[in-house]
Chain A
Amino acid sequence: MTERTIHALGEAYRRGDTTPTAVTEAYLARIEKFDGHVGAYLTVTREPALRAAAAADARHRARAPLGPLDGVPIALKDVLCTKGIRTTCGSKILESFVPPYDATVVARLAAAGAVVLGKTNMDEFAMGSSTEHSAFKPTRNPWDLARVPGGSSGGSAVAVAAHLAAGAFGTDTGGSIRQPAAFCGTVGLKPTYGRVSRYGLVAFASSLDQIGPFAKNVRDAALLLQAIAGHDPHDATSVAAPVPDYAAALDGRVHGLRAGIPREYFAEGVDPEIARAVRAAIETLRGLGVATEEVSLPTTGYALAAYYLIAPAEASSNLARYDGVKYGLRVPGGKDLIEMSSRTRAAGFGAEVKRRVMLGTYALSAGYSEAYYGRAQKVRTLVRRDFETAFARVDLLLAPTTPNVAFKHGEKEDPLAMYLNDALTIPVNLAGLPGLSVRCGFTAAGLPIGLQLIGKPFDEATLLRVADAYERATTWLAREPALP
């Protein structure tokens, strides 16, 4: 039952084959049985989930469901504020933080009837690419428990890949949805910056963060995006552009679309097995009538450096509020307020968070701000222009999601080696574009590979249409991870 897609669950509810409560119970049982192995969840919200499922039961019985997500069990990255439910951001400093409000996305999902199974593990404050930097536990890749699931939304990716949720939500600041989606072989979509409200998303880097879905297939991703997309008066950066019917876009009509293949995304450092799989996927799409041409995004190589100034700069500011005064951890014993805050932050933040806060503080400090933060913003403008130039010629870009597949726990202890993991996803965040990762094969060792589709601003529909056509033309989804 937990292997069914959201689309299939909706059909089953409609026919009366099963009920939201039965499905929710099945998921809770599976979480009980397997989450000890993979560690996807930080908090399982059994009671509220069963209550929400019962309410969905009644609506389905009355033949008046709220929509395609009514009664669908989902998981939320623990960076999304949930009223009355602990929201830790994977950090000691927020271990006991219970938000007094729901994120807009959470409220919209509740209004759509979704059943929240729990909150998923993540790299602390979404800073990381492996979900090893959670203050509570590492999350393991269901395809190989010795390997990482990617990050920072590793818990959500694993919840979907291991059928511990029908769908899940994560956040993507530099690749934190697409990279774990690729590592775990799920669909992962980072919407255009401004497509989805960030209100209630605990900020890492405000100008880059975006919430998006993980799904078992592209159709489900379309349904999940539909529920959360659209302008929100609480988020001034959310955009009032109309939201199309994403499911309706999955009509398989890709013939005549033009796809660009960015040369720089196949450069040295990309695992040959990945390059091969992605090239094969491109051939498949050509077979479906997609025209392809090589394009160049010459500033790609500078994007990583710019990102590692802008994101930490914003993070140093966003994380300044965790001082032990108002909520979360407080380490007592300081002789004054400043010392109380210093002690709290010293004890509450992990090493990676501290590293980035220091990096960001430095990048913004007087005398250096122009050289670091200022110049990084200029690079960001150039990166955006690169994409604009490419999109004058093509409808979307096709590339690998990651330069390598899931690596072993503890393998990338050097922060720089870890940062390089996001080299192919970060430019998309800097430009604020939508990006989607879809399974496009396996390595010889049996690890999933992700194909990245990059679109024009607010053109998620084209990404979903092409990825859906690709998915239906291939059989990669038939393979499932084997849990012990």
Chain B
Amino acid sequence: MSTLTKTGWDVVIGLEVHAQLLTRSKMFCGCPTAFGARPNSQTCPVCQGMPGVLPVVNRRAIEFGIKTALAFTCRINPACRFARKHYYYPDMPKNFQISQYEEPLAEDGALEIDVDGASRAIGIQRLHLEEDVGKLLHEGTLETAQASLVDYNRSGVPLMETVSRPDLRSPEEAAAYLRAFRAVLVYLGVCDGNMEEGSLRCDANVSLRPRGATELGTKVEIKNMNSFRNVKLALEFEVKRQRQALAAGERIVQETRLWDADRGYTRAMRSKEYAHDYRYFPEPDLVPLEIERAWVDAIRAALPELPRQRRERFVRQYGLPPYDAGVLTQSRALAEYYEAAVREFRQPKIVSNWIMSELLRELPGDDERAIERAPVPPANLAGLLRLIEDGTISGKIAKDVFQKMVGSGEDARTIVAREGLTQVADEGALAAVIDQVLAQNPKAVEDYKGGKTAAKGALVGQVMKATRGKANPAIVNRLLEEKLSKI
């Protein structure tokens, strides 16, 4: 941000996010939506765009849309309409997409994001539902393919498009918006949030304008950013590109550019690739959808706790620093993991430390599925922490045990027992070991007696080595001091 502001330009970014909804069946037919099935195995005449078929709205998808719109504090329109959006592409079986145009499901909401410790509301212009398209598979590269195959499994899967207002002022803010957006969807259970699999797709409108100006500059649309990292990189590149062009006195061309993640730049699409006249008109096969107030109220009443509320509660209820609370609530699965562990081991900050330093080293905290299937379930983490607390193992040993738990999926007690990792706290046994160490290290004993107190550390180290780290360090220290004072 600082380098940009120096140049005298304000960055203006708006995001359009497409989210695949986690409904069991498609938007306008009864076909299943499961990912990764055999090509064209999840299709029917409707989602293949056969002659004569008609769409029927999936009520669950509407419900998910309303849920999300409420979480973003949008106004739910009492009636909405579907519309046909036309363009030719073989992955779209009807050569039009059923979407919403003039009368979307919901409008005028906001999403709060946090950047550099400050929180800001980003406007949401509209939220609407539509159907996804199929997938083209080319034999070879797109340019040289002699044949193309089309898989309609994805055709008709419900998509929710959410358009932000151009309120974002930097690539960092855009990334923060996307993360917060994703967290809300995942908390609501309406989308799995997986960008790599395409469950969440993001396009951006980027423009620059002289600092303080109110009029928007010429916007450029950026497509094909398929990870959080790429969103940030692509926007940083684009901002830089526009800033340089403007500094050189060039005019920004309104166009669509594709992010090339391998090469790290955006390139203009040929105008043929995007210059569409979509010829929208109301979908005559569907009647306008009336959204009853009571339905909206029922959905509102059943809304789960959202990321922001949960974060605030973690600070309040567990006394966690806001940073910890933010990390732990980045996904619903992680927050649930944390709370499950705390229920079994009631020292919230210690649990938080272990999750942030050990668990998240192994698993990405925003990957719901990975957290849900963590090899160390919350109860096992709590079990490990109890072993430290009651002195059975040391904190240092515990870290090794955790690694073994990750590898084997076993609980801590099993590993500790099998590998004999229990701390030696038996004073008689330790005294014998200490006597042996003292006998074998007369030089160190002499040094200590001569005033080099540091020599004690070497002796402790020898005891620990002899017990393979299992000795209780506090007892070793005490016994050693007693014995040395008697020499």
Contacts and interface: CB of A to CB of B under 8 A. Distances in A.
Interface string B29-57: 00000000000000001001111111111
Contact of B57 (A81, A236, A361): A236
A100 B50 contact: yes
A338 B136 CA distance: 14
A337 B90 contact: yes
Which of A205, A317, A365, A369 has the most B CB atoms < 10 Å from its CB? A317
Interface of A: 80-81, 87, 89, 94, 97, 99-101, 103, 198-203, 205-207, 233-237, 313-314, 316-317, 320-323, 325-327, 337-338, 341, 361, 364-366, 369, 373
B86 A97 contact: no
A199 B281 contact: no
The 8 lowest CB-CB distance pairs between A and B, nearest first, are A320-B95, A206-B284, A207-B284, A364-B279, A202-B51, A200-B52, A81-B52, A202-B52
Contact of B86 (A320, A322, A323, A327): A320
B277 A365 contact: yes
A338 B88 contact: yes
B279 A365 contact: yes
A361 B55 CA distance: 22
Contacts of A201: 52
Contact of A237 (B50, B90, B285): B285
B262 to A, nearest CB: 24
Which of A313, A316, A326 has the most B CB atoms < 10 Å from its CB? A326
26 contacts: A80-B52, A87-B51, A100-B45, A199-B52, A199-B53, A203-B52, A206-B284, A235-B285, A236-B54, A236-B56, A236-B57, A237-B284, A317-B84, A317-B86, A320-B94, A325-B90, A325-B93, A326-B48, A326-B150, A327-B50, A327-B51, A361-B279, A364-B279, A364-B281, A366-B279, A369-B280
A369 B285 contact: no
B286 interface: yes
Given A237-B287, A366-B277, A321 B52 contact: no
Contacts, number: 103
B51 A89 contact: yes
Given A235-B54, A369-B281, 19 more contacts: A81-B50, A81-B52, A99-B52, A103-B52, A236-B55, A236-B285, A313-B281, A314-B281, A316-B279, A317-B96, A317-B281, A320-B95, A320-B96, A323-B95, A325-B90, A325-B150, A326-B50, A337-B90, A341-B88
A179 B154 CA distance: 43
A314 B53 CA distance: 15
A321 B94 contact: yes
A95 to B, nearest CB: 13
B285 A206 contact: yes
Contacts of B95: 320-321, 323
Contacts of B150: 325-326
B54 A373 contact: no
Contacts of B51: 81, 87, 89, 94, 97, 99, 202-203, 321-322, 327
Nearest to A364: B279
Nearest to A325: B90
A269 to B, nearest CB: 30
B244 interface: no
A317 B279 contact: yes
A302 B403 CA distance: 80
Contacts of B54: 198-199, 234-237
Interface string B437-476: 0000000000000000000000000000000000000000
A89 B148 CA distance: 28
A325 B92 CA distance: 10
Nearest to B136: A337
Which of A103, A203, A233, A322 has the most B CB atoms < 10 Å from its CB? A203
A337 B54 CA distance: 26
Contacts of A317: 84, 86, 96, 279, 281
A100 B88 CA distance: 24
A202 B285 CA distance: 12
A321 B281 CA distance: 16
B49 A326 contact: yes
A81 B277 CA distance: 31
Nearest to A103: B52
B148 A337 contact: yes
Nearest to A209: B284
Contacts of A100: 45, 50
Contacts of B280: 364, 369
A203 B57 CA distance: 19
Contacts of B88: 320, 323, 338, 341
A108 B58 CA distance: 25
Nearest to B89: A337
A341 B52 CA distance: 20
A236 to B, nearest CB: 5
A201 B285 CA distance: 12
Nearest to A362: B279
Nearest to B142: A336
A347 B279 CA distance: 24
Interface in B83-113: 84, 86, 88, 90, 93-96
Nearest to B29: A234
A26 B88 CA distance: 49
Nearest to B279: A364
A100 B285 CA distance: 21
Contacts of A337: 90, 148
Interface string B138-173: 000000000010100000000000000000000000
Contact of A321 (B93, B148, B287): B93
Contacts of A313: 281
A236 B287 contact: yes
Contacts of A369: 279-281
Interface string B266-293: 0000000000010111001111000000
Which of A325, A338, A364 has the most B CB atoms < 10 Å from its CB? A325
Which of B45, B52, B96, B286 has the most A CB atoms < 10 Å from its CB? B52
Contacts of B148: 337
Contacts of B284: 205-207, 237, 314
Nearest to B276: A366
A327 B94 CA distance: 12
A317 B49 CA distance: 12
Given A94-B51, A198-B54, A237-B285, A323 B90 contact: yes
Nearest to B95: A320
A46 B323 CA distance: 78
A364 to B, nearest CB: 4
A103 B52 CA distance: 8
Interface in B270-318: 277, 279-281, 284-287
Nearest to A93: B51
A212 B287 CA distance: 22
Contacts of B48: 326
Contacts of B96: 317, 320
B40 to A, nearest CB: 11
A99 B44 CA distance: 12
Nearest to A342: B88
A419 to B, nearest CB: 21
A163 to B, nearest CB: 29
Contacts of A80: 52
Contacts of B286: 236-237
A440 B116 CA distance: 84
Contacts of B84: 317
A100 B279 CA distance: 30
Nearest to A328: B51
